[in-house]
Amino acid sequence: MKKLPWILLILTTTALLATGCGKGSNSSDKDDKNELLNVSYDPTREFYSQYNELFCAHWKNETGKDVVVTQSHGGSGSQARSVIEGN
């Protein structure tokens, strides 16, 4: 049963990466800002808060473009359901 949180972490990380990889239908090559939704369960809230700041600075340094990361943290069950339901 202890493997379940790691599986959920892997699934939510994969979902996060998959949602951030494509361009929306209204995007253009001139976009200067990218948006990501960081979905994880509640115990990782503080970690990702700090990590997201570092990631945004790294992204800006590497690409010259801004990225905005919105966080969504809750219980692992509710987060997994939200990802599955597309919310």
How do residues 7-56 score in pLDDT, each as one tens digit?
A: 556 656 665 555 554 444 444 555 566 899 888 777 888 888 899 999 99
Would you state the pLDDT for residue 34? 87
> What does the block give as tokens for 83?
């990802």
- pLDDT, greater one: 87 or 47: 47
- Evaluate if pTM is beyond 0.75: no
Would you state the pLDDT for residue 4? 53
Q: What is the mean pLDDT of residues 48-77?
A: 89
Going by C-beta distance under 8 Å and a sequence separation of 6 or more, which residues neighbour residue 45?
71, 73
Cβ-contact 9, 23 below 8 angstroms:
no
